Amino acid sequence: MQSFDFDGTTLTARLNKSMFPGKSILPANSWILHCTPFTAGEMAAWDQFFSACAHLASNCVPADFVFVDAAWDPIHISNNQICDYVDRLQQIFGGKKVCVLSSRAQHWFDNIANCVFFPLFLMIPYPPVKHSLRQGRFGCLNRRNADHRVRLMTQLLEQGLLSSEQDVYSVALTSVHDPKTNGDTVCIFGKTWPSRIATHPDNFPNDYSIDHPAWHTGIAIVTETLVDENSLFTEKTAKSILSKSCFSIYIGKPAYAVLEQLGFLPRFFSEHAHDHNIDPILELCKNIRNANQAIEYRQQHIDKINHNYNWFDFGQGSVIQRPWWSLYQPKLQQALDSL
C-alpha cells in the first residue's frame, strides 16, 4: 500500500504511512490519494489534480485499487460530480478500481457507485482516557467559529440559558457574518460581543483528548462541523462517546441514523438540533436547570452510555476486532465488490 499527498500541483509519496489509520482495513495492493480537491471546496484545483494523477500513472504501475481519502474533511461536491470525477480517474489509471472514502454520513444510505462512507472518526488512535468526577451542568466547546455555532451560542447567551457558574463553554465569534472587528470585540446582528468567550481560558485547544472539563459535565452539547445533509463526524462525536457523556449532537439527521446503523445508541433526547433548527438545544437548556439535575439525568442513562463506550472499544486491538466493525464490514465489502 502506498499513500500520496496532493500539494496543489503534484502527488508525492507520503513518508509517514501511519498517518492514515484506516489503511489496515483496505486491500494491500492499493494507492491512497490524500489532500485532494474532493474536500477542497471552491479552491479545488481539479485540472492540476488530474494532471498530477496522469503523471503518477505514467511513471508508476498503478495498484489494483486507487482510494481517494475524503474521510475526514467535508465533501462540498454533489453525488453526480463525484461520479464524474471518479470516471475521469478510472480513465487516467487505466481502468483500475477507484473508490472515494467519504466523510459524508448521507453516503451510507446513497449507495452510489465507487463511493463509500468511511467512519475514520472511529479509527483514529485516540490518547488514553481518564474519566473524572462529573461537575457542572452543560459542556459545549466551539473552538472553530461557524454560522451554526454562532447562531446557537448567541441565542443561548442572549436568553440567559448558559451560566458561567455551572456550565463549561467556549465560542469564537471572529470573522463570522462579515463582522466589524474592533480590538477584542465583534459586531454580530448589530450587537457587540467579545471576539472569544470561554469559561475556562485554555487557548481553545485542538486535540483528541477528553482532558477538558467540558467533557466531564452532566450533559455534553456537541456542535459538529456541518449540520445539514452534508454532515460528517469528527473527533467531537468520538470524544462525546469516549468521555462517557450523555450528549446531544447538533448535526444533520442522517448522521444520527448512521450511528444507529453502526450499533451505537445516540438518542438521549427525543429531538436533536439540525440544519437551522436549534430549538431542541434551547429547550434542553430550559428544562435542565442545574448541575444536579443534569448529572441525575445522565445517571438514568448510564446503561446506554456504557454501551456506547464499550461498543467503540477504541483501545483494544485492531479495528476489525471492535464491535461496530461487524456492522460496517458488510457495507465496505459491498462497495469493494461492486468496483
Of the candidates 245, 243, 296, 248, the residue with the CA atom closest to the CA atom of residue 271: 248
Alpha carbons 213 and 169: distance in angstroms, whole number: 10
Residue 339 burial class via C-beta count within 10 angstroms: exposed 0-12, middle 13-18, buried 19 and up? middle
State which amino acid sits at residue 174: T
The 3-state DSSP class for residue 215 equals helix
What is the per-residue pLDDT for 177?
A: 47
What is the per-residue pLDDT for 189?
A: 65
Query: What are the φ/ψ torsions at residue 305 (nearest 5 degrees)?
Result: -65, -45
C-alpha cell read off for 305: 452510555
Per-residue pLDDT of the chain (339 residues; tens, 9 = 90+): 899 999 999 999 886 655 788 888 999 999 999 999 999 877 789 999 999 999 999 999 889 999 999 999 999 899 999 999 999 999 999 989 999 999 999 999 998 999 999 999 999 989 999 999 999 999 999 988 888 998 999 999 999 999 999 999 998 876 544 445 455 767 766 677 787 888 987 777 778 999 999 999 999 999 999 999 899 999 999 999 999 999 999 999 999 999 999 999 999 999 999 999 999 999 999 999 999 999 999 999 999 999 999 999 987 678 999 999 999 999 999 999 999
Can you list the positions of beta strands (E) in the chain?
Answer: 2-6, 11-13, 30-34, 65-70, 97-102, 115-117, 138-140, 168-172, 181-182, 185-188, 191-194, 196-198, 219-223, 246-250
pLDDT in tens, 166-176: 999 998 876 54
Across-strand partners of 65? 30, 97
Give the strand order in the sheet containing 185-188.
Answer: 181-182, 185-188, 191-194
What is the per-residue pLDDT for 206?
A: 79
Q: What is the pTM of this model?
A: 0.92
What is the per-residue pLDDT for 276?
A: 94
* Dihedral over Cα of 154, 160, 164, 168: its sign: negative
CATH number for the segment(s) 2-122+326-337 = 3.30.750
What is the per-residue pLDDT for 336?
A: 96
Residue 64, Cβ neighbours under 10 Å: how many? 12
Residue 118 · residue 147 · CB < 8 Å: no
For the chain, domain boundaries: 2-122+326-337, 138-312
Residue 212 per-residue DSSP state = S
Of the candidates 289, 311, 291, the residue with the CA atom closest to the CA atom of residue 244: 311
Residue 283 · residue 289 · CB < 8 Å: no
pLDDT in tens, 38-62: 998 777 899 999 999 999 999 998 8
What is the per-residue pLDDT for 179?
A: 46
